[in-house]
Amino acid sequence: MMNNKQLANVFILIANLLEIKGEIVYKTLAYRKAAESLESLGREAEEFWKEGKLRDIPGVGQAIAEKIEELLSTGKLGFLEKLKKEVPESLAGWLQVPSLGPKKVALIWKTLNIATLAQLEASAKAGKLRDLPGMGAKSETAILEGIASLARRSGRLPLGKAYPLAQEIIKVLKGVKGVVAAEPAGSLRRMRSTIGDLDILVSCNDSAAVMEAFVNLKGVERVLGKGETKSSVEFSDGVRAQVWAHPPREFGTALQYATGSKDHNVQLRQIALEKGLSLSDHSFKNVNSSTGSGRAAAKEIFCSTEEEVYKTLGLPWIPPELREGRGEVEAAKKNKLPKLIQVGDIKSNLHMHSTYSDGKLSMMDMARAAIKRGLKAIAFTDHSVSLGVANGLSIERHKEQAAEIKKIQKQLGDEILILHGSEVEIKADGSLDYPDKFLASLDLVVASLHSSLRQPREKITERLLKVVKNPHVDIIGHPTGRELPDREAADLDMEVILQAAAESGVALEINAHPSRLDLDDAYARRAKDLGVLISVNTDAHSEADYDMLHYGVAIGRRAWLEPKDVVNTWSADNLTKWLKKRG
């Protein structure tokens, strides 16, 4: 059975091939919208299908619902097979080459009768593209450079790489004389798990110095474009970044527009129209001779902050992480936006490692680093015995660790509560590394999947279900086992897992390590809807790893989580009461 990601990939492929074919825009947009909806669902489309509710999925009308049904029931789609006979599937890959749009792809394919990326590169090197209509030597060179750039890129950029790079760029730009503000925009500001290109907005009255500083950043390999209001560069590792400059009075509208998402912005522009206004990245303008209240219309309304933009629309400011067109505008209209969790709400770290397994620091050093960051409780969850590659602990070594924890606790007193736990391996048959009797003796148990992640859907789901229902397990660590950007999540039936977690009371983890960010925001929001507790942990192996916490909190915010939804916000007393109750 196809999962949401696989279904989304089918519709993205269809959209790409239709664009190359020259199909009208609204049809291709319909497939892209369906793909976006599928990727952000907290439940598998299969569940909607079984309930006869495919059309409840945003962006899925009758025609696409029928295609989803065909894919789920047969694994194939006649429409796509027919389309691939008309347009070679390999051409969709050409669209990833910077400077190549669907019209150029179609022109090259039809004129030169080539369909692979290797053939495209060979034709460009042979000078066969420059004489095509609307092209030339510059276009040919750009295509060759684009192919080389594509080879350096590994798809979307993980948040953990994009965020620090953006902060470095912003630090440089804020140092330019005359700069009032500089902020990330796009999917980075919305803190998505992966990012396309980096978008950065700068507020200033004179952009020349900003653009000069930007194109001369350390690591820039190519300047793709340089202008008064926008410049683009490519770094040596293939990462691309753009900077836009706006005068301070327009910065609020510009930042709101550039942050997105597209669906969120469409809703805001509709509200503006209902108020007799048009909203752009520059300002509000009146589209009628007077406002809805009959006042004489102002020529233009400028907003230097986003708060002013939303206030003009009659809405409270909506946090960027929520701006995905998933009900946040409706909630804002009713003044029912969630009071989102913040890093400062986190009082404990319940998944971390020491030198007892594969950590870099002793337990005392990790405890002191936690105190320094204001944490009130930590749990050492060193790996269990079968994860030999991570120096997993035998029961005897666990007893040694427990004795050492008692000594450290006595030494540190009530500065911090130290719990003795373990990250216990979920073996291929669904059993755990230790017997229940020993698990019951631990303060906290995190159970995690690390191996046999490619088992069939039914088998790996049943394997995790068995653990979710174990009363001695308190937290399921990084539940889907994904690693960004290279390892996809295990093919779990997450709706079944989430329902079982709601019944058993086990908490599911949002692992803050940027290579994990697992659970993702879609599943975490579904978990919240079902009343499943969430635990946001850093999986720290060193002191520096504690500082990854904000990534996990960002995923929680995207999932609409409030402090009450997250066990790490509880006091040490309430945390220990919950753990004792679980047994």
Cα separation of 568 and 583, whole Å?
18
**For position 153, what pLDDT does the model report?**
60
Q: What percent of the chain has pLDDT over 90?
A: 82
pLDDT at 241 over 90: yes
User: Rounded mean pLDDT of the chain?
Assistant: 93
The model carries a pTM of: 0.82
CATH assignment of 4-152, among 3.40.190.10, 3.40.50.970, 2.102.10.10, 1.10.150.110: 1.10.150.110
Which residue spans of the chain are classified as CATH 3.30.460.10?
157-246
pLDDT at 238 over 90: no
**For position 186, what pLDDT does the model report?**
97
What is the mean pLDDT of the segment spanning 117-128?
93
Which residue spans of the chain are classified as CATH 3.30.210.10?
261-333
Q: Which CATH architecture has domain 157-246?
A: 2-Layer Sandwich (3.30)
pLDDT at 302 over 90: yes
3-state secondary structure at position 456: coil
| 42-51, 242-251, 393-402, 416-425: the lowest-pLDDT one | 42-51
User: Element (H or E) spanning 422, and its range?
Assistant: strand 417-425
Cα separation of 214 and 200, whole Å?
10
At 173, the pLDDT band (50, 70, 90 cuts) reads very high
pLDDT at 295 over 80: no
Task: Provide the β-strand partners of residue 301.
Answer: 284
For 478-535, write each residue's pLDDT tens digit: 999 998 877 888 989 999 999 999 999 999 999 999 999 999 999 999 999 999 999 9
Q: Which two tokens stand for residue 345?
A: 């709400």
pLDDT at 99 over 80: no
User: Element (H or E) spanning 251, and its range?
Assistant: helix 251-259
Cα separation of 473 and 579, whole Å?
10
Check: CB of residue 397 under 8 Å from CB of residue 356: yes
Q: What percent of the chain has pLDDT over 70?
A: 97
Which residue spans of the chain are classified as CATH 1.10.150.110?
4-152
At 293, the pLDDT band (50, 70, 90 cuts) reads very low
Q: Which CATH architecture has domain 343-582?
A: Alpha-Beta Barrel (3.20)
What is the mean pLDDT of the segment spanning 135-155?
80
At 72, the pLDDT band (50, 70, 90 cuts) reads very high
pLDDT at 36 over 80: yes
Which residue spans of the chain are classified as CATH 3.20.20.140?
343-582
pLDDT at 291 over 70: no
At 154, the pLDDT band (50, 70, 90 cuts) reads low
**For position 155, what pLDDT does the model report?**
67
Cα separation of 505 and 195, whole Å?
34
Cα separation of 416 and 352, whole Å?
15
For 407-434, write each residue's pLDDT tens digit: 999 999 999 999 999 999 999 999 999 9
pLDDT at 441 over 60: yes
Higher pLDDT, 35 or 238: 35
Query: How far from chain centre, in Å, is Cα 134?
Result: 38
Burial class (CB in 10 A: 0-12, 13-18, 19+), 424: buried
Cα separation of 252 and 174, whole Å?
17
Task: Please name the residue that has the structure tokens 């497939």.
Answer: 31
Q: Which two tokens stand for residue 444?
A: 């906290």
pLDDT at 570 over 50: yes
Cα separation of 253 and 288, whole Å?
20
**For position 1, what pLDDT does the model report?**
75
Check: CB of residue 495 under 8 Å from CB of residue 464: no
pLDDT at 294 over 60: no
**For position 437, what pLDDT does the model report?**
96
**For position 292, what pLDDT does the model report?**
45
At 583, the pLDDT band (50, 70, 90 cuts) reads confident
At 66, the pLDDT band (50, 70, 90 cuts) reads very high
Q: Which two tokens stand for residue 238?
A: 């293939």
In DSSP notation, 110-174 reads HHH---SHHHHHHHHHTT-STTSTT--HHHHHHHHHHHHHHHH--SSEEHHHHHHHHHHHHHHHH
**For position 432, what pLDDT does the model report?**
96
**For position 152, what pLDDT does the model report?**
65
- In CATH terms, the fold of domain 261-333 is Beta Polymerase; domain 3 (3.30.210)
Higher pLDDT, 125 or 290: 125
| 25-29, 249-253, 421-425, 470-474: the lowest-pLDDT one | 25-29
pLDDT at 290 over 80: no
pLDDT at 13 over 50: yes
Sign of dihedral through CA atoms 437, 440, 443, 449? positive
- Amino acid found at 74: T
At 298, the pLDDT band (50, 70, 90 cuts) reads low
For 461-478, write each residue's pLDDT tens digit: 999 999 999 999 999 999
pLDDT at 83 over 90: yes
For 334-357, write each residue's pLDDT tens digit: 999 999 999 999 999 999 999 999
3-state secondary structure at position 391: coil
pLDDT at 75 over 60: yes
User: Element (H or E) spanning 444, and its range?
Assistant: strand 444-448
For 192-227, write each residue's pLDDT tens digit: 999 988 999 999 999 999 999 999 999 998 899 999
